[in-house]
Structure 1
Amino acid sequence: MHIERLYRWSSVYSARLTQQELWTVCPLLSLNQHQPGLQTGDMRLAGGKRSHEGRVEVYIAGVWGTVCDDGWDIKEAIVVCRHLNFPSAREAVDGGRYGPGQGPIYLDELNCLGTETDLTKCESSGLGISDCKHAEDAGVVCASGKMCHSTTISGFLGELFESGRDCDLILSVVVENSTVETICAHKLILSLVPSWSSEANLSIEVSSKCQPHWLIEPFRYLYTGRMNITMTSSHCLHKLASEWGLKALQEEVGKLLILLLPEDATFQAQSSLFDYAVSMDDGALQQSCLRYMAWNCEALVASPAWTGLSVHAIKGLLSRTDLTVPSEYFVIQALEKWEDAQGKALGSGDQFDLLKLIRFPMVSAEDLNRLKDSRYQAGKLEGFQFNALTIGNLFGELMSNWKSYTPRIYTGKPWSYTFTSEEVSVFKKTSLYPKGLNHGELAFTFRTPVHNSAYFALFGDIGWYTRLFVKSDECSYSSTRVCPSAKLSLENGNSALPELYKNAIVYKNKIVIRCDGRYVSHIQDFKHPQEDTTIQPNHGSGQVYPCRSDEYSYTMVIRPKYRTGLNYTEVEEE
């Protein structure tokens, strides 16, 4: 039995036709009266009292089977409901509600992104590999209200497109003045494209970077509302959607591009995507690329892609407060590495602009002393002043140049503590954490300076208590009562620190979440220092980048800042 598997590079995008588009294509039922046959991956609902709910059954090689509810949640339900052309999913149902099914249990331990076209495209324990019984058969409740029997329409139109029957429009795909592909289409369907011409035969000129077979996907989307997109084809399809005026498709491809960013550990794809976003003047896509590269800056700097980044990209990264790095000195070293690779191609004006983006006050006094190049003299002076003077003496600078005095997300010692993904996994199984304070607690205490300024070394350091709640039986002890949750709080005050300075310092702490310890998938604020914070790294709207393994490391980052303004009202970060 041959089952096509979806490799990591090939994430699948599934989009539904809008209601206006469906109203347009409903009459096309008359174009094709042949019911398309069942295909591997097709699904149906059984055992429910209503048409939009039931036990999920999957069709594989002529046999219907079921799905185990291990790992079953709303993302898997969304895949099922959209495949069946319901608007969305309301509930992922564990086994039992809709009764046991029959036949093989095809899928177990599913981990979908929610964008796949069917469940066989999701990660799982493997086709037919399951230790479940039919009492654990998963179900769904979909949002009711199918539009115009769109499952049937999608099947009819998909077969019509693939067969090429009754087409009245020939499209020639032209690359460098040579026709490399022809597509047989139908004027009525293509009339959905705002910019489309009514001519009988048309040619589409595309860049040589666009593979001819990629061009079939946008047309398949017009017929079925679905298309396959890979990282390598995404730029081409995004550009075509823009040129053809398919704004909804362009936006959805852009969203998928963001989900695909973690797939390339070399950062070549992210760099290329940023340059493409600049060429398209797509500010939102630019910022999405910069955010991923900023959060994963340490890995980016170590990659071959770092020295190939444009000046525009480097300026964008160095401007960000969410740049996640071991220290500000690391940023200086990374910039030097990039500048050396540019050689004489880097103009003095750009070099000066980049230097202004270094936050010298955030460089430790020891590291400032290591900077010997004369171009650093002004920055070193600014840094040494920060380390030697009190807030009263620095007030004017803090107000006029506050960003230079705002820490980025520094993950190096002594400003952070990490629970590794291995430690979290062991604790979930055994309740053991050898570094911890008490048995059965994933908790630790660590100490940091009071502030980045060396001036505060006179008053000693302060202690922090952090704890992760990752097991259901312990989450009742968290104030959020939700798993996973995290606590990060001052263990005790610092009696040696004058009251004036206690009031002048605020902590804007973060939790950095890495997928399987490899890449940063999410960063959250600790908004209330004495309260627990709910962490939802891969469930719901809080997720930024997907994590297929569902294994995470958690880094608690301490970020002290001076309060500024009248009555110490803090200036907000950009």
Structure 2
Amino acid sequence: MFSSKSLSKMGCLLPFATLILLIAIAKRGSSKPSGVFPSHLETNSAIPEQNNSIGITVTPEDATVWASPLTEEEKNAKGTKEMRDYDDGDESHSGPSSISSPEVTLWNKLRRKVTVRQSPYWARTQTIDLNENSMATINHSLMLINHLQDLLFNSNSSDIMLKVYTGNSDEVKVFHTHHLLLILQSDVFEDLLLNHSVTTLVLRETAECAALFETLIRYLYCGKITILLSQVVPLHKLASKYHVTALQHGIIEYMSQQLASASPRGHVVSWYHYSLRIGDKNLQESCMRFLAWNMSTVIHSKEWQTISDDLMISLLQRSDLVVENELEIYYGVEEWIKKNQPDILVTETVLKLIRYTMISPQSLFQIQKQSSIMNEHYNSVHNLFFLAFQFHSTSPLVFIKYFNVNCSLFIPRNYLSSSWGSQWVINNPARDDRSTSFQTQLAPSNYDPSKKVTWNALFSPRWLPVSLRPSYSYSGNGAVQAFNPEETRPRIIITPAMNSANFAGVTFQKTILVRVKKDSRSYVKHIYDFHQSTEETGDFLLQADFQKHPSEYLIDNSLYLHIIIKPIYQSLIKAIK
């Protein structure tokens, strides 16, 4: 039993005991709860993880980890949204007055975190753009394409089998496909599959097309393929046969953009022949123009010998062929005749299309004496040789009195030799105006080869066309001329440095070649014809962006031009293309 004295002592100690107990309870209540996800700021060491059978990452139960402290934004939004965030997904509580226990709250957070970890990559990395009306666009098109591509390799879900035989051989390729995707992209497949009981289609293709049939099927499923230059023709044949229109147009556009690409044996000539067979006028003209504007390069390439008779005749009829001189064309044609052995009619037609009046008398004598082809067919072109010698023996004013010069024989082509013009490389063309001078021969004939014409050329990257030049306006401080720099364009003005009285009987057409570079090869991409200034053309370097790096118009930050002066008879001005 306690004595009264002992009780009095306990009464004195009771307040102190109560205080110690309250402090202990307060400390216990303020400790951080376990079971939530760790913060990278508060975890001192890595916590081992265990993977369950369904691939969800789980934190061990005996690990004590802490949650991240709230950010300022979270603190501001916590007041009104706290109960809604805690109650999300908790079926045991409802209504605004329901308050989740700490255990339930922690479980909800854990469940949401696990759900995010279970969701696929596309869902975790999706971008949701909100506009002013809080309308969202969720784009999972890539996921859909991936699912469609997976169908191509999932034979269990297919309902149509394609058996593709190579020619007349027994070689066969089998593709497990789907009725819906075939008829969606091809009306040919739609016609073949009108009978819904059909489960197998047997198709026969050439060897080159059969090798690319899988590429066609892949396009039908995912709308995207990667092809090589050597594959475009057989793939276009497949797209045309099965009426896959979008792929047809895509391949034609690709071919038009890849004419300058490097290939071991060349491809432009074969593409021209193919465009002729399928009747594609645009591709045909693109190929023809590329061959004409880069004729000097084509003559010395492997594909020169693959040119057909009709293509050779069509090329030689053009006045925009870019070659060193007419003699280069003759020797190129001579090699083509030896290699291809065309019939006599084609051979003589081709030889008659050579412009012998643009070849010097000395070179004409060499052809007559040394060329075996010319010795064999000289009778068919001897009148052209005689006319050329007459043309070179007198002045243009005298010659025009006795001969009809209104024909292509007296129109120069785009000759690159120094007697017809000059190359002009302009470094940093956007910087300021540039000028240059050069000399050319006075007339196409060699009547007086010592007569030269000096030309002055001015290039301006910011020339304002006459039609856009503003008139002067007057203000209190005097005349002010305002213009918009965006309206300026690159221009070239070429003028003779001598009196025009010396040019009797001859006028001059100027031509500018613009070279660009692709696959380490330079080629002519643009040609502009004018008489005084490129302002006459209206589209001289209209799309060129000299500030862009790299620019498709520049080679090593320089603009590569070649100026050609074509002396022609005045009566031929209207006949020039």
Of 160, 163, 172, which aligns to 2:163? 172
Within 2, Cα distance between the matches of 1:50 and 1:563? 67
The offset of 1:302, in angstroms, is 1.8
Of 216, 222, 225, which aligns to 1:224? 222
Does the CA-based 8 Å contact 2:516-2:555 persist in structure 1? Answer: no
The offset of 1:328, in angstroms, is 0.8
Does the CA-based 8 Å contact 1:36-1:156 persist in structure 2? Answer: no
The offset of 1:346, in angstroms, is 2.4
Within 1, Cα distance between the matches of 2:294 and 2:126? 41
The residue type equivalent to 1:194 in the other structure is D
Residue 324 (structure 2) aligns with: 326
The offset of 1:482, in angstroms, is 8.1
Q: 1:148-174 CA deviation, whole Å, 9 max, x = no partner?
A: 985565444334335455221111221
Of 557, 561, 564, which aligns to 1:555? 561
Residue 437 (structure 2) aligns with: 445
Does the CA-based 8 Å contact 2:442-2:567 persist in structure 1? Answer: no
Matched, 1:397 2:409: no
Of 375, 386, 395, which aligns to 1:381? 386
Matched, 1:368 2:372: no
Residue 252 (structure 2) aligns with: 254
- Give the SS at the match of 2:175: strand
Within 1, Cα distance between the matches of 2:137 and 2:365? 68
Q: 1:435-493 CA deviation, whole Å, 9 max, x = no partner?
A: xxxxx7654211112332334757542313143x6xxxxx4467686899352411434
The offset of 1:417, in angstroms, is 1.9
The offset of 1:546, in angstroms, is 7.0
Q: 1:199-222 CA deviation, whole Å, 9 max, x = no partner?
A: 42112322222362x222222322
Matches within 5 A, 1:38-187: 153-164=144-155, 166-176=157-167, 177-187=169-179
Call closer, same or farther: CA 1:369–1:465 in 2, change over 3 Å.
farther
Residue 489 (structure 1) aligns with: 494
The offset of 1:231, in angstroms, is 0.6
Within 2, Cα distance between the matches of 1:430 and 1:282? 38
Of 526, 529, 533, which aligns to 1:530? 533
Call closer, same or farther: CA 1:183–1:146 in 2, change over 3 Å.
farther
Does the CA-based 8 Å contact 1:35-1:156 persist in structure 2? Answer: no
Call closer, same or farther: CA 1:310–1:530 in 2, change over 3 Å.
closer
Does the CA-based 8 Å contact 1:538-1:550 persist in structure 2? Answer: no
Does the CA-based 8 Å contact 1:511-1:524 persist in structure 2? Answer: yes
The offset of 1:347, in angstroms, is 1.5
Of 507, 515, 522, which aligns to 2:509? 507
Does the CA-based 8 Å contact 2:438-2:456 persist in structure 1? Answer: yes
Does the CA-based 8 Å contact 1:190-1:222 persist in structure 2? Answer: yes
Does the CA-based 8 Å contact 2:454-2:498 persist in structure 1? Answer: yes
Call closer, same or farther: CA 1:548–1:415 in 2, change over 3 Å.
closer
The offset of 1:290, in angstroms, is 2.6
Matched, 1:416 2:409: no
Call closer, same or farther: CA 1:512–1:429 in 2, change over 3 Å.
closer
The offset of 1:233, in angstroms, is 1.2
251-260 vs 361-370, which deviates more?
Answer: 361-370
- Give the SS at the match of 1:445: strand
The residue type equivalent to 1:356 in the other structure is K
Residue 73 (structure 2) aligns with: none
The offset of 1:234, in angstroms, is 0.7
Of 292, 295, 312, which aligns to 1:294? 292
Within 2, Cα distance between the matches of 1:554 and 1:390? 33
Residue 571 (structure 1) aligns with: 575
The residue type equivalent to 2:237 in the other structure is K
Does the CA-based 8 Å contact 1:306-1:338 persist in structure 2? Answer: yes
Does the CA-based 8 Å contact 1:361-1:404 persist in structure 2? Answer: yes
Within 2, Cα distance between the matches of 1:316 and 1:36? 60
The offset of 1:336, in angstroms, is 1.2
The residue type equivalent to 1:300 in the other structure is V
- Give the SS at the match of 1:245: coil
Within 1, Cα distance between the matches of 2:206 and 2:294? 31
Call closer, same or farther: CA 1:349–1:448 in 2, change over 3 Å.
same
- Give the SS at the match of 1:262: coil
Does the CA-based 8 Å contact 2:166-2:210 persist in structure 1? Answer: no
- Give the SS at the match of 2:209: coil
Residue ranges of structure 1 left out of the alignment (5+ in a row): 1-33, 52-144, 432-439, 470-474
- Give the SS at the match of 1:232: helix
Call closer, same or farther: CA 1:154–1:338 in 2, change over 3 Å.
same
Within 2, Cα distance between the matches of 1:550 and 1:217? 38
Residue 341 (structure 1) aligns with: 339
Matched, 1:519 2:522: yes
Within 2, Cα distance between the matches of 1:363 and 1:455? 13
The offset of 1:325, in angstroms, is 0.5
Call closer, same or farther: CA 1:265–1:159 in 2, change over 3 Å.
closer
Residue 201 (structure 1) aligns with: 200
The residue type equivalent to 1:522 in the other structure is K
Within 2, Cα distance between the matches of 1:147 and 1:367? 73
Call closer, same or farther: CA 1:442–1:369 in 2, change over 3 Å.
farther
Within 2, Cα distance between the matches of 1:165 and 1:185? 10
The offset of 1:311, in angstroms, is 2.3
The residue type equivalent to 1:201 in the other structure is T
Of 406, 412, 416, which aligns to 1:407? 412
Residue 350 (structure 2) aligns with: 354
Residue ranges of structure 2 left out of the alignment (5+ in a row): 1-117, 369-373, 466-484
Within 1, Cα distance between the matches of 2:253 and 2:329? 29
Q: 1:105-153 CA deviation, whole Å, 9 max, x = no partner?
A: xxxxxxxxxxxxxxxxxxxxxxxxxxxxxxxxxxxxxxxx999985565
- TM-score, normalised on structure 1? 0.61
Within 2, Cα distance between the matches of 1:548 and 1:170? 52
Aligned residues: 410
The residue type equivalent to 2:409 in the other structure is S
Q: 1:337-389 CA deviation, whole Å, 9 max, x = no partner?
A: 222223xx321111111112212222234433432145253222232333335
Call closer, same or farther: CA 1:569–1:260 in 2, change over 3 Å.
closer
The residue type equivalent to 1:208 in the other structure is A
- TM-score, normalised on structure 2? 0.61
Within 2, Cα distance between the matches of 1:293 and 1:221? 32
Q: 1:311-333 CA deviation, whole Å, 9 max, x = no partner?
A: 23322322222221011111011
Within 1, Cα distance between the matches of 2:361 and 2:216? 57
Q: Which has the higher helix share?
A: 2
- Give the SS at the match of 2:502: coil
**Taking CA–CA contacts closer than 8 Å with sequence separation of 6 or more, which of the two structures ends up with the larger relative contact order?**
1
The residue type equivalent to 1:228 in the other structure is T
- Give the SS at the match of 1:465: strand
Call closer, same or farther: CA 1:524–1:308 in 2, change over 3 Å.
closer
Call closer, same or farther: CA 1:529–1:495 in 2, change over 3 Å.
closer
Structure number with greater Rg is 2
Call closer, same or farther: CA 1:557–1:384 in 2, change over 3 Å.
farther
The offset of 1:193, in angstroms, is 0.9
Does the CA-based 8 Å contact 2:444-2:568 persist in structure 1? Answer: no
Within 2, Cα distance between the matches of 1:548 and 1:246? 37
Call closer, same or farther: CA 1:561–1:241 in 2, change over 3 Å.
farther
- Give the SS at the match of 1:558: strand
